[in-house]
Structure 1
Amino acid sequence: MPLDHQLRQDTVSAPGLQHLIIFTDLDGTLLDHHTYSHAQATPALERLRRHDIPLILASSKTAAEIAPLREALGFAHCPAIVENGAGMLEPGRELEDTAERHGEIRQILDQLPAKLRKHFQGFSDWSVDQLAERTGLTRADAENARNRQFSEPGLWLGNEADRAEFVAEVSVRGLQITQGGRFLTPSFGGSKARCMREIAVRHATDRGQAFAVALGDAENDVDMIEQADLGVIIPNPAHRGIPPLAGEATGSVIRAGNPGPAGWNSVMMGLMDHWELD
């Protein structure tokens, strides 16, 4: 398979001097936006496993959602970034049943002026069946999605002026807002990019410095994409996507030719060809 036409030889590094570590968003990136399938990425996933290249799942999903998916993909030995970087799920560690921070977030939301609170509907405001209907998840997966520890995703149902006031009000109260492909998410902070940097440092070994590749499709992936050695924007026709980034002019950020796992697979196969990984 030829090198992806957007991958520039001078920005991808020289094989042998660095080793790959992959950070990927899930919904709309490795997973199809509508079906949550990763089937089209199977060739690249198999190749990553064969060469023992770490795959770090980095998502707004909870630890309860990511743990079984990470195992099914064959990367249970790798850490994962959960709830938009508000927490990390280490390999081989039991899921922690801690929801104190999530409870604090809910308290702050419920203390907002009623005119703002009524326009935000979070996962905890919905029953499991309602969440399954709104997301397309199975009922079992929806139960895991409601098992929040660090954040409270939801839908903003008001206008843009009220949204700006909502963001300002929660910020004063110590929360940060992250916009993903589907949901608006208040949390106490943390980021995928910060976790990515921490994990990449761990993987700097005698094999050389880790060359971090980050793939994502939405606003909450931008920092991770921009701070990676190579950032990959996966197009997603289901939402407004990611606007042009400065790194696209230098080749440190590229755009996949296709959305979802098909685009993910194409870029990753081209990258591994460049690294001369059979």
Structure 2
Amino acid sequence: MAANLQLMVFTDLDGTLIDHDTYDWRAAKPALAALRRLGAGLILSSSKTAAEIAPLRAEIDQPQWPGIVENGAGLLPPHDAAAHDAAQYTAIREALQNLPDDLAGLFHGFGDCTPEEVAEMTGLPLKSAMLAKHRAFSEPGQWRGNRAQKTAFLAHLKTQGISAQQGGRFLTLSFGGNKADQMRAITAQYKPQHTIALGDAPNDVQMLEAADTGVVIANPHRPPLPELRGEAAGRIIRTKAAGPLGWNEAILSLINRLELN
């Protein structure tokens, strides 16, 4: 564990560090290099699975830090390649298969899809879509019913301890835990002097508000997030550029502002 850690960065992936359309992160290379020079912690925090995050973490040369996976429903340990216990995912799938008749089939999850269908839903290459189906803690999917049916669906699942988070593309079911919960646990373990969180979607809000500095990354593909707690005081900022370009500009600017160079 790093001693006297100055900075720890928690970042969403799709639409934030990774381009919404191309899934490319290379526009953020200067800021990633600056974080490595500082010895800063970089925690990838995403709805993606451990099987997806592990190779990306290695690709950006940050395997020594834990990852927050499946919208905060689980953790990927440092240097590990996957989550190993899928009991929670199995229980969620069983609950979906035993829904009342009037709610059955209205939620179309990854477990209902072939890898080819997941690729079509997400825009991922087929190989990546296969990794997205390697789930351990949560089930993302598309809601195909109306608002009243969704309310009944969520109320039914709540009786079994299953909750939902709305992300940028999918409604994700889990037994609880979110990005902010995992962020607090990791921060307590590593004790950084300053934390930054970056994200673009509703499921990032708690994480952004829990950090010392939150960064809302512009995303032209969705309505902007409403004003967040701490934004009026300048604790949360917004980028003009989208995706990894905005991420890069924000991190380099904050490194200068915090006088970490």
Q: TM-score range by the shorter chain?
A: over 0.9
The question of 1:239 aligning with 2:222 is answered yes
Q: Partners in 1 of 2:221 and 2:252 — Cα distance?
A: 25
Q: Which of 133, 148, 153 is matched with 1:146 structurally? A: 133
Alpha-carbon spacing, 1:30–1:126, altered in 2? closer, same or farther (3 Å): same
Q: Which runs of 5+ in 2 are unaligned?
A: none
1:210 Cα deviation after fit: 2.5
Q: Partners in 1 of 2:160 and 2:65 — Cα distance?
A: 34
Aligned to 2:14: 27
1:275 Cα deviation after fit: 3.0
Aligned to 2:117: 130
1:239 Cα deviation after fit: 2.1
Question: SS of the counterpart of 2:85?
Answer: coil
Q: Name which of structure 1's ranges 19-28 and 111-120 shifts more when overlaid on structure 2.
A: 111-120
The question of 1:88 aligning with 2:75 is answered yes
The question of 1:52 aligning with 2:52 is answered no
Q: Which runs of 5+ in 1 are unaligned?
A: 1-16
Contact 1:230 1:252 in 2 (8 A): yes
The question of 1:194 aligning with 2:194 is answered no
Aligned to 1:61: 48
State how 1:1-278 maps to structure 2 within 5 Å. 19-204=6-191, 209-278=192-261
1:49 Cα deviation after fit: 1.1
1:195 Cα deviation after fit: 0.9
Q: Partners in 2 of 1:179 and 1:64 — Cα distance?
A: 22
Q: CA RMSD in A?
A: 1.5
1:96 Cα deviation after fit: 3.6
Q: Partners in 1 of 2:101 and 2:140 — Cα distance?
A: 19
Q: Percent identity?
A: 48
1:18 Cα deviation after fit: 7.8
TM-score by length of structure 2 reads: 0.94
1:276 Cα deviation after fit: 3.2
Question: SS of the counterpart of 1:246?
Answer: coil
Q: Name which of structure 1's ranges 210-219 and 144-153 shifts more when overlaid on structure 2.
A: 210-219
Q: Partners in 1 of 2:229 and 2:79 — Cα distance?
A: 38
Alpha-carbon spacing, 1:117–1:243, altered in 2? closer, same or farther (3 Å): farther
